[in-house]
Amino acid sequence: MRVDTESWAYKVPFRVSRGAESALEVVVVTLTDADGQVGRGEAAGVDYDGETIPRLCAQIEALRPGIEAGLSQRTLDFAAVATLLPPGGARNAVDCALWDLTAKQRRTSVWELAQVMHPRELTTSITLGIDTDAAVAAGARRYADWPLIKVKVDGARHIDVIRLVHAACPAAQLIVDPNQAWSCDLLNRLAPEMQSLGVVLIEQPVPRGEDDTLRAYQGPLRLAADESVADRAGLAKVVGLYQVVNVKLDKTGGLTEALALAGAARARGLQVMVGCMAGTSLAMAPGMVVGQMAKFVDLDGPLLHSADREHGIEYDRGLMRLPSTTLWG
């Protein structure tokens, strides 16, 4: 097992309600078996849960003997990874590397491993971070012909920003993401106008832990639980409050639990959104497997960065081509 850390610069500083970053730090796990076959997985971790790249590396390194013994004995499987590591970025990197490696060992594809017989290309949103009015409007104009745009807002700047984006992109559907910065009262006041501005989904409007306040929500727009649900263990508490669950591999701890969460959400009558913590095409490729079950897709990570990996996923105005097996899977 090899554990590497990397930094991927954003095109412009990426700002959400929690703060801004100029680059994204990621960890990449590479698993190599006795025959020289290689699997890779990338993770950024969950920053609002206190995950940092040094912490992820320490978690992974602490289990190096067990992981490498499992590799050499061919006993390392997805269930074993789930017992070794808790949900989060560390398990995500190892789990996704194992999916890649397993596909190569079995001379098949991750699509077949996941029992997806006819994978389809996906249409992702493109994200506009919090910025000045001029910068947001300019960004919106760049994506005027994209079908789905995600707009980051906070507690102070919200409806005015949405109006700007809608004016620049009147045909686009909008996802609005306050990242826990609103109250239910503010949500109720804004929702009717947001519907008239092309908004189709609002992500995590209220703080995690205050989800019960959404019982007073009276608006017409669907709500997606993001920070409030990491894996299947948190699903029950959002049923009846949200209509959509945002599945992110860094939260679930990899593709294995992400697929299980997506399936469990749909079984409870919830729609699925697949999201990301930004990152390169190596992180988006396993997300596309979950995306086969999703109503909403937010896998635009590589488009936010100044560069991407070799053999990266091709994007065409939001349409994501299926990843090359040279990249992953």
Which one is catalytic: 104, 150, 152, 251?
152
Sheet architecture: strand order including 2-16: 2-16, 19-32, 38-43
Locate 283 and state its tokens: 């992180």
Q: Look up 248 and say whether it is catalytic.
A: yes
Q: How many residues does the chain have?
A: 329
Which one is catalytic: 104, 150, 248, 251?
248
Report the b/e string of 69-92 with b at 16+ CB within 10 A: ebbeeeebebeebbebbebbbbbb
Element (H, E) at 189: helix 184-196
Contacts of 293 (CB under 8 A, 6+ apart): 259, 262, 263, 266, 272, 274
In the chain, the largest separation of any two C-alpha atoms, in whole Å, equals: 61
Strand partners, 297: 274
Q: Look up 295 and say whether it is catalytic.
A: no
Catalytic residues: 152, 248
